[in-house]
């Protein structure tokens, strides 16, 4: 409620930060209690950011079919921070932790979150599958080589695999590109 009616002695008041205040707070949260584990659910427009967060090792749910109500429900049930560029979504009462993302480009959105939520301390780069959001496991070159192009098998000896989608990751140009993106964020 606002101040549109007189408050009586018997009234019980709960005070929440004004919503606009979220924009200037370093850590945008609706409740005072910070979440111990940083886990996210990203809205349908933040697919690029979702995979960059996964690349950093942050458990991030994303599906471009998620409805707003579903996102709010997931956040409430699983203790996830809602990431969105839609202020209306953050106004849903069951969302206790939400973050309005200002930047438009995924790489800049990632930087914004690293700065505002101090992500560098808890980042575990290349620990999650970018597609499935599930842990990657190291596999031996012998196991990996039959499943990657021969040139890759000859060049690299360190491989990670997602048990869910079977995707194999190695330290190729794509990986190095991601490292270049992450390095300045992690070294802050
Ligand atoms: Zn996977």
Q: Is the pTM of this model over 0.85?
A: no
Q: What is the pLDDT of residues 119-174, one digit of tens each?
A: 998 999 999 999 999 999 999 999 999 999 999 999 999 999 999 999 999 999 98
Q: What torsion do the CA atoms of 89, 93, 99, 104 make, to the nearest 10 degrees? A: 10
Interval 53-72: pLDDT, tens: 999 999 999 999 999 999 99
Q: Is 48 helix (H, G, I), strand (E, B) or coil?
A: helix
How far is ligand 1, taken at its centre, from the CA of residue 142, in Å? 20
From the CA of 166, how far away is ligand 1's center (Å)?
6
Please give the DSSP secondary-structure letter assigned to residue 118: T
Domain annotation for the chain: domains and CATH numbers:
19-122 (3.40.50), 136-186 (no CATH)
CA 187 to centroid of ligand 1, rounded, Å: 28
Instruction: Answer for the pair 140, 160: CB distance below 8 angstroms, yes or no.
Output: no
91 contacts 26 by C-beta, under 8 angstroms: no
Q: What are the φ/ψ torsions at residue 160 (nearest 5 degrees)?
A: -120, 150
DSSP letter assigned to residue 85: S
* 22-44 tens-digit pLDDT: 333 334 545 555 567 899 999 99
Ligand 1 centroid to residue 133 C-alpha, Å: 7
- Distance from the alpha carbon of residue 24 to the mean position of ligand 1, in angstroms: 36
Q: Which residues pair with 84 in a beta bridge?
A: 100
How do beta strands 81-84 and 98-100 pair?
A: parallel
Q: Judge whether 74 and 41 are in contact, CB under 8 Å.
A: yes
Distance 11 CA to ligand 1 centre (A): 52
Indicate if the pLDDT at residue 11 is higher than 60: no
C-alpha 125: how far from its chain's center?
A: 13
């Amino acid at each position: 409620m606002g101040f549109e009616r007189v408050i009586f002695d018997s009234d019980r008041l709960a005070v929440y930060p004004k919503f606009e205040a979220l924009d200037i707070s370093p850590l945008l949260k609706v409740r005072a209690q910070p979440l111990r584990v940083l886990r996210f659910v990203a809205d349908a427009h933040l697919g690029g950011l979702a995979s960059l967060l996964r690349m950093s090792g942050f458990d991030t749910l994303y599906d471009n079919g998620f409805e707003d109500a579903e996102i709010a429900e997931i956040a409430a049930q699983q203790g996830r921070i809602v990431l969105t560029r839609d202020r209306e979504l953050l106004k849903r009462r069951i969302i206790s932790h939400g973050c309005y993302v200002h930047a438009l480009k995924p790489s800049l959105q990632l930087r914004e979150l690293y700065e505002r939520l101090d992500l560098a301390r808890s980042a575990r780069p290349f620990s999650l599958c970018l597609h499935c959001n599930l842990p990657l496991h190291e596999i031996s070159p012998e196991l990996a080589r039959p499943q990657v192009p021969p040139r890759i098998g000859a060049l690299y000896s360190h491989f990670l695999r997602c048990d869910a989608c079977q995707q194999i990751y190695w330290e190729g140009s794509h990986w190095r590109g991601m490292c270049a993106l992450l390095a300045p964020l992690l070294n802050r």
